[in-house]
Structure 1
Amino acid sequence: MIDLKDRSELENNAEIKTVLSPRRIDISQNLADMFMEYISEYHTEKVETNHVFIKISGDNQYKPMNYIDVDNLFRTLKKKTGIYVTPHMFRHTSLTILRMANWQPELLRIRAGHKNIYTTLNTYIHPSDKEITEKFNKTQPNLNLNIYNEGDK
């Protein structure tokens, strides 16, 4: 689990933006392992911050990353890969995947930290055309009203 909590004014101006903080969210063992590997590799005795994501080179080495640093990192990744992605897209994707795994809307709202369920459902859940078609095809037999006589077909 990860605890999300407001730590007030931070040197990198980061802030928790969700209404329902602090909160705790579950993470996979795989993510926890990757997190611990990152911490053990980059958070050496030279690092004097409790921020997770730090600058690993340059004049401000070991200082917390800020919004511009993260934005620049993702721009660099786009140039190298041709794939446009933002950190916030991971939030949208994770909630969409959980919805596809049949999570109840209320659980999604709580995980997202939203006050209003409509924010979660209207802004963060993005069903694919394929998913919509699959759900329709699964439901279609229940929609057959059988209004035609056999001779009318």
Structure 2
Amino acid sequence: MARYIVDSQIDNHEKYYFIREQESQDIVLLPSKYLMHKKRSKLSPNTIRRSAGAISYYLNYIDETGIQLDDVWEMPYDKQQEHFTDYLIWLQAGLHSGDSYKKKPYNETCNAYLKEVFRFYRFSGQQDESIKQLKVLSDMRIIVHNSVGVKRTLYRNTFHGYLQEKGHIGKTIEQDKIVILLKACANCRDQILLLLLAETGFRIGELLGVRYATDIDYERHLLYVNFREDNENGARAKNAEYRKAKISDATFEILQFYIEEYKDLIFQQEYLIINISGDYAGKPMQDSGVYALMERLQKKTGIKVTPHMLRHYFANARRKAGWKLELISQALGHRNIETTMRYLNISDQELIDVSDEFYRKHQSIYEIDKLL
């Protein structure tokens, strides 16, 4: 049984995460202080929850190995390198989950957990007046250019020992499968939820935070993402951003039908997407309810779908329709074009097809016919 667990508490609609020692039920002070630091830095609840998970995995790992956090600071370079490399191997084997038979995490995921541990060490080192630093983190200078050619120099600490990443690309879903899922929905609330995710590219937290009175332009068929920290259902826009998306006329008609169908529940509160039955009818829907809905649809149709798969569908559908990469990136709310590129599932056959088309139009580009 894991010694350290992630716990949370809701206070005045705000969710706070902390690390608890399971046997004594005591809160572990320094990691919990770090999570509060992330909360004050305006990071989303989901981001903080993932950080809490990563820190709890590491605390359980060092507990298994019989060392303390302070011991790691004092290790010489080669021992620190070995310590963190062994931690990556431990994660890669799936031992952090307590079940080695479960699907093993991707190397990218293991690296992300370790990077969070390094951020925790950096924070804890700054709590000390001497400002301690890990020996395995070396300074690296990166020169980057933004979209308009302005050069920036970034300074980062790096670790020479991360697992090799395979460039994992998230899964998307095809349009014909979305049609099947829509037909399998039990009500128009479920249908409009799928449609809005597919047509806006919003993250699930962004869509669940939409308020029907202030975040919808009913004349131009626009939905707005507005950053708020006080949403009743804990929904929140990432990166404290504001943006908008246009939906189709057909989807807007279903949206209007949904609002009319459940107006007695919707108009009692502020949010567009609500629970329509059960003990929580009329309450804003939470992401757990969305995932439960999608699991029911999968059992009914055999088609797996998640909010993020619909976000990938949005990106790929727009690319195939001829949208520029910069527009897709902006629509998704990405800070970096590189992130958007990971959403685009460009197949080998597609590269062959565009090559054939290029040569068809420019077959005489090298005047080869004159060489024969």
- State the TM bucket, normalised to the shorter chain: 0.7 to 0.9
Residue identity opposite 1:70 in structure 2: V
**CA deviation after TM superposition for structure 1 residue 117, in Å:** 1.1
Aligned with residue 53 of structure 1, among 268, 273, 288:
273
**1:114 maps to 2:334:** yes
Consecutive unaligned residues of structure 1, counting only runs of 5 or more, are none
Aligned 8 A contact 1:14 1:66 in 2: yes
Superposed, 1:25-64 pairs within 5 Å as 25-44=245-264, 47-64=267-284
Deviation sequence 1:66-98 (CA, Å, 0-9, x none):
111111000000000000011221111111111
C-alpha contact 1:6 1:15 (8 A) present in aligned 2: yes
Pair 1:34–1:140, CA change in 2 (3 A):
same
CA RMSD of aligned residues (A): 2.3
User: Does the alignment pair 1:2 with 2:248?
Assistant: no
- Alpha-carbon offset, residue 136 of structure 1: 2.4
2:234 to 5, 8, 13: 13
Partner AA of 2:359 in structure 1: Q
Pair 42,129 (structure 1): closer, same or farther in 2 beyond 3 Å:
farther
Quick one: distance in 1 between partners of 2:357 and 2:272?
Answer: 44
3-state secondary structure, aligned to 2:244: strand
> Hey, what does 1:125 align to over in structure 2?
344
1:124 aligned counterpart, secondary structure: coil
Instruction: Check conservation: 1:54, 1:61, Cα contact below 8 A.
Output: yes
Q: Tell me what 1:93 maps to.
A: 313
Give the direction of change, closer, same or farther, for the CA distance of 1:135–1:46 in structure 2 (3 Å limit): closer
Aligned residue pairs total 148
Amino acid at match of 1:43: K
- 8 Å Cα contact 1:20-1:115 kept in structure 2: no
Q: Aligned AA for 2:299?
A: K
Distance 1:34 1:40 in 2: 10
Q: What residue number does 2:98 align with? A: none
Output the TM-score relative to the length of structure 1.
Answer: 0.84
What is the alpha-carbon distance in structure 2 between the residues aligned to residue 39 and residue 26 of structure 1? 18
Question: Structure 2 length normalisation: TM-score?
Answer: 0.37
Match runs of 1:59-74 below 5 Å: 59-74=279-294
Q: Would you tell me which structure has more strand in proportion to its own residues?
A: 2
Deviations 1:103-123 (A, max 9, x none): 1111111111111111112x2
Q: Percent identity of the aligned residues?
A: 34
Cα contact 2:266–2:272 (8 A) shared by 1:
no
Residue by residue over 1:31-82, the C-alpha shift from the partner in whole angstroms, topping out at 9 and shown as x without a partner, is 2112111111123257522211111111111111111111100000000000
The higher-RCO structure (CA 8 Å, 6+ apart) is 1
SS in 1 for 2:275: coil
Structure 2, unmatched stretches of 5+, are: 1-221
Distance 1:43 1:133 in 2: 51
Aligned partner letter, 1:135: V
